Structure 1
Amino acid sequence: MKFSPIFYLFLFTLLFNCQKKESNNDLVFRYNESNIIGSLDPAFSRNVGETWLANQLFNGLVQTDDSLNILPCIAKNWSISENGLTYTFNLRNDIYFHKSPLFGNDSTRTVTAEDFVYSFNRLKDKSIASPGSWVLNKVNDFKALNDTIFEINLKTRFPAFLGLMTMKYCSVVPHEVVDHYGNEFRSHPIGTGPFSFKRWEENIKLVLRRNKAYFEYDKNGEQLPYLEAVSITFLPDKQSEFLQFAQGKLDFLNSLDASYKDEILTAKGELRPNYAKDVNMLRGPYLNTEYLGFYLDADIPEIQSETLRKAVNYGFDRTKMMIYLRNGVGVPAQGGMIPKGLPGYKTDIGFSYQPEKAKQLVEQFRKETNIQNPEITISTTSNYLNFCEYIQRELGKIGILVNVDVLPSATLRDARNNGKLGLFRASWVADYLDAENYLSLFYSKTFSPNGSNYTHFKSTAFDSLYNASFAINDIEKRKALYTQMDSLVMQQAPIVPLYYDEVIRFTQKGVSGLGINPVNQLDLRTVKKN
């Protein structure tokens, strides 16, 4: 028998309020991963779930805190040459790999600079085919000067390079273990992280154990992590995941799924009273911009018209959209492409809801083109159909006929990359911690299909500022330049920013120390359970 979503919501509430929760007052942190985990090898940590696991098992040269400051990790400090091309990392000499019989009688050994040479060469190896190989595209060479000094030389200045080094692709791995297991290192990971690998029943359960030789300590001198173990299940159904959380069988719930958002949150994004007494909610900026993109080379008058593109931007209420469709989770996008949380973000360079101005622009388009009934088609996936239908209704009120074409994700991505869609829904999540990552979508030398400029936006003034930004190390000066570049883009309206996403997390009241950060990384080092 198939039950309706209403039945599940009733069941959730009943269980949450009437059933005594399972006791989890131990040192095991439990969460569910609803997506398939293909590998525990950091060189293949391409999605959120795999990155979360790599963050527990592995370390790199540097790391970030919850405010995205770049901090030491295996490298205790570093220096950058005056020309910005040479990065010299001084490594700690007290960091050990997790124990493995492959290390011999001692079962472990210290990390050296040669381990980073091996790990980076592996990342570049075309036969390995790591999806993270691109992070070294700007690197000319790297070498170990001795056991504790690792040097990287760039092809050209790139101030955001340290941000790239925080990515889990750049984790250090031991050659003895990787060479022994080959491709099967995916299920036999050995790293240096706060937790070590214990057991993995694929698509069923994964268990990590506390690394008793971990090198980091809290401000009081207590060794991290506090937890003894991490247990991950792999229920694919979000309703089942929520039910497990409601019963107290999971300590943590990530994101807000449509199947339970109205059950746990009010329309204003607040916890409903029947959950507030037992659940903590964490919210903060997420470096993800959701938007519509115009393909400016499309032979469609409505797409080519800056006037009509601006009418679309002015023509719908983003704040109301977020309340009705996201329960207030997310920031209505009235700035540009740079999301809230990154230097360069500014709220007043974009478009607010101005329906009368939008109608005037539609009338101006009619006069300019003699097209009396402007019509556009938004291509989207089913996950965002409700957003596109909302925009469809709102733009109809200002005189624009909107069609919505729902495509499979792979089909939409291929058609977008090859310029076959006039107007498409897309998103951009930060690959690294610099606004240049977002602005690269508008650089004229990165036109799709080979690059990420899907709109084929082109501006000599923008390109000049973009190139100039690489020579500026001062973040405040780059911030001003990034805002100026973002403003130049929005003046021509090649995109319709919809919203800047938010990270939202729910934990049981007994969980403390779980932070939140704009890249939605999961850090369990300082988590405690009462």
Structure 2
Amino acid sequence: MAVLTGCGGDESGFANRLAPAVAADGTKTLRYGNQTEPGTLDPHQASGVPAANVLRDLYEGLVITGADDKIIPGVAESWTISDDRLTYTFKLRSDARWSNGKPVTAQDFVYSLRRAVAPTTASSYADIHAPIKNATAIINNDKPPETLGVAAPDAHTLVIRLKEPTPFFLQTLTHPSSDPVYRPAVEQWGDSFTQPGHAVTNGAYTMDAWRVNERIRVKRNPYYWDNANTAIDRVEFYPIEDGNSELSRYQAGGLDWAATVPPAATARIKRHIPDQYHAVPTIGIAYLGLNMRHAPFADNRKLRLALSMALDRDVITDKILRGGQPTLYSAVPDTVRGYTPVEYDWQDWPDDKRKARARRLYHEAGYSAEHPLQAEYLYPSGGVGKTLGLVAVAMWREVLGADITPINQEWKVFLQTAREGYDTQIFWGGWIGDYDDPNTFFSIFNSKAALNYTGYDSPAYDTAQERSSHTPTGAKRTALMHKAEATLLHDAPIIPVWVYTYHQLVKPYVTSYQPSALGNYYSKNFDIRPGQDADGGAGGH
């Protein structure tokens, strides 16, 4: 790939090379730092932000998100909702095509939604489809997938019937698990239908190359309905787990977009290239999960609360992370629009009072200097899980005398371990909401949810959460959500720590960037214009 390169730097020696990947023939490549290697690119089995970043380019659902994370048409050019809010009728674009030129039909969505909830698919996100009629029974293997409330009266009409009105249903359709997959490819290739040469996709891009732990490259889908308005020809995703390595590659001109910023480098970056730095508070939370299935945390609420109260969240966010992350004392961040979270009443206590209460609870839970808590903290490679863990371990030792051992696992192994829930005690948890509604957080702690890695099981919580998910927006729904959140905080299966914030670096020649609290970025919306530069940014052409 021939590139137009530029020198970068300033008087203090802060390197920032501007090197957009534009070939001699005008072909443009966008290069992302993507944190870690996705476990799979099957939309119905994938889990985690790195996979979702790639899937948004490869596939397109009925609806997608636009500016300010609002719902806009995707494959469906329009839709209507019945008066009783139970029937959604979507009209599909007549020019929607798969990357092999075949039409995208309503029957493709019928097949794919059935596949997404089928027990044989074993999707971690099957529960996101619970609002659809019979979905829960299918997930529980009580009914066959063919009974799902979806139908295709004709090739361009899809009808979805819900079991109860669900105010956030449209938003769930932006999740990758609602995307269509190409049935002939799935049936021919099985699990390898996602691989180059096998993959057939309907998004703005299609699979080009995949070198595990090195790079995923996608290229423009010439049959995409809006291909004429797509400027980026190729997108490369690099699984760089170490934030310092990612920053070095960005500074050297090898990345156009860095997904993370090392805390220690934040001040320098804000000083030298402020226009390339974006701190975006998300609809997401960083928390520590406590395994409620067995000792030491099962049936020991005082111990769980002691660990939570012993953490000095202000020190973690202000002194360690240093990225302006808001501290968190609730299960839902205040970035969710239209909802005021329930919070711990001790959040504003003086440090000495909070720590004293933590020590008292710890002793009442049966632990002391002579009999300290001994447990393991599990975290994935890359990201801030290690940073949080090491700080939390030190605080627990200082305040309580607890003896916590950090354990690291590669991302895919970590997800599997956390999902199975047998070998975990304390584990890193980060959850970016799938849609802008409190239920995206409440649903993952339902006792029946596949993503409930804590094993939390509370009939009172489940009832409030489930009722709220089918109650129209208003005071009654808010009261139910507050009851669910208050129950969760009282039982303390998680330790909320901060509101998750994306710290991104984007080169000035990447145009049309808009922050997304959901983290929903589509490469088709960007362009690379080598002559662009940001005011005040270090570097030049």
C-alpha deviations, 1:55-90, integer Å up to 9, x for none?
A: 112211111235333222112232334454432222
Aligned to 1:354: 350
C-alpha deviations, 1:138-162, integer Å up to 9, x for none?
A: 5333210112211123345544432
CA contact (8 A) 2:16 2:253 kept: no
Aligned to 1:36: 37
**C-alpha distance in 2, partners of 1:299/1:225?**
54
SS of equivalent to 1:56: helix
Aligned to 1:119: 112
**C-alpha distance in 2, partners of 1:127/1:316?**
41
> Given the alignment of the two structures, is residue 317 of structure 1 paired with residue 315 of structure 2, yes or no?
no
- 1:238–1:453 CA distance, 2 compared to 1 (3 A): closer
Aligned to 1:251: 256
Residue type of the partner of 1:330? Q
SS of equivalent to 1:332: coil
SS of equivalent to 2:525: coil
Out of 235, 242, 246, the position equivalent to 2:247 is 242
Once the two structures are overlaid, the 10-residue window that deviates more, 115-124 or 506-515, is: 115-124
SS of equivalent to 2:153: strand
> Given the alignment of the two structures, is residue 228 of structure 1 paired with residue 236 of structure 2, yes or no?
no
**C-alpha distance in 2, partners of 1:150/1:193?**
19
Residue type of the partner of 1:458? S
Measure how far apart 1:330 and its partner are: 2.6
Measure how far apart 1:128 and its partner are: 5.5
**C-alpha distance in 2, partners of 1:337/1:370?**
27
**C-alpha distance in 1, partners of 2:189/2:422?**
42
CA contact (8 A) 2:342 2:486 kept: no
Aligned to 2:331: 337
CA contact (8 A) 2:342 2:485 kept: no
Residue type of the partner of 2:112? S
Measure how far apart 1:435 and its partner are: 2.0
**C-alpha distance in 2, partners of 1:153/1:18?**
55
Measure how far apart 1:200 and its partner are: 4.5
**C-alpha distance in 2, partners of 1:322/1:23?**
34
SS of equivalent to 1:407: strand
Measure how far apart 1:181 and its partner are: 4.6
- 1:324–1:19 CA distance, 2 compared to 1 (3 A): closer
Trace 1:420-435 onto structure 2 (pairs within 5 A). 425-435=428-438
Aligned to 1:8: none
CA contact (8 A) 2:313 2:327 kept: yes
Q: TM-score, normalised by structure 1?
A: 0.77
SS of equivalent to 2:47: coil
CA contact (8 A) 2:20 2:509 kept: no
CA contact (8 A) 1:376 1:423 kept: no
CA contact (8 A) 2:67 2:514 kept: yes
Residue type of the partner of 1:153? R
Aligned to 1:103: none
SS of equivalent to 1:292: strand
SS of equivalent to 1:387: helix
Measure how far apart 1:407 and its partner are: 3.2
SS of equivalent to 1:506: strand
Aligned to 2:300: 304
CA contact (8 A) 1:293 1:455 kept: no
CA contact (8 A) 1:389 1:404 kept: no
CA contact (8 A) 1:291 1:427 kept: yes
CA contact (8 A) 1:315 1:353 kept: no
Q: TM-score, normalised by structure 2?
A: 0.76
- 1:44–1:275 CA distance, 2 compared to 1 (3 A): same
Once the two structures are overlaid, the 10-residue window that deviates more, 480-489 or 517-526, is: 480-489
Aligned to 2:518: 519
- 1:83–1:249 CA distance, 2 compared to 1 (3 A): same
Measure how far apart 1:365 and its partner are: 4.8
Residue type of the partner of 1:291? Y
Trace 1:100-499 onto structure 2 (pairs within 5 A). 100=100, 108-124=101-117, 132-137=125-130, 138=132, 139=135, 140-186=148-194, 187=196, 188-200=198-210, 203-216=213-226, 223-233=228-238, 239-257=244-262, 261-262=263-264, 264-266=265-267, 271-276=269-274, 280-294=276-290, 304=300, 306=302, 310=305, 312-334=307-329, 336-343=330-337, 344-346=339-341, 348-349=343-344, 351-352=347-348, 354-361=350-357, 365=361, 375-377=372-374, 379-381=376-378, 384=385, 386-394=387-395, 400-409=400-409, 414=417, 425-440=428-443, 442-443=445-446, 445-446=447-448, 452=452, 454=454, 456=456, 458=458, 460=460, 462-474=461-473, 478-499=477-498
CA contact (8 A) 2:301 2:491 kept: no
SS of equivalent to 2:149: strand
C-alpha deviations, 1:242-268, integer Å up to 9, x for none?
A: 3321121221111234xxx42x312xx
Residue type of the partner of 1:452? N
Aligned to 1:7: none
> Given the alignment of the two structures, is residue 95 of structure 1 paired with residue 92 of structure 2, yes or no?
no
Residue type of the partner of 1:246? Q
- 1:354–1:313 CA distance, 2 compared to 1 (3 A): farther
What are the ranges of 5 or more consecutive residues in structure 1 without an aligned counterpart? Answer: 1-11, 101-107, 218-222
Identical aligned residues as a percent:
20
Which structure has the bigger radius of gyration? Answer: 1
**C-alpha distance in 2, partners of 1:123/1:388?**
34
C-alpha deviations, 1:272-319, integer Å up to 9, x for none?
A: 43344xx6112212343222345567666997354x655544444212
Aligned to 1:220: none
> Given the alignment of the two structures, is residue 507 of structure 1 paired with residue 506 of structure 2, yes or no?
yes
Residue type of the partner of 2:65? T
Residue type of the partner of 1:387? L
- 1:488–1:203 CA distance, 2 compared to 1 (3 A): closer
CA contact (8 A) 1:291 1:426 kept: yes
Q: What is the root-mean-square deviation of aligned Cα atoms in Å?
A: 4.0
State how many pairs are aligned: 491
Aligned to 2:60: 59
**C-alpha distance in 1, partners of 2:356/2:38?**
51
What are the ranges of 5 or more consecutive residues in structure 2 without an aligned counterpart? Answer: 1-8, 136-147, 530-541
Residue type of the partner of 2:333? P
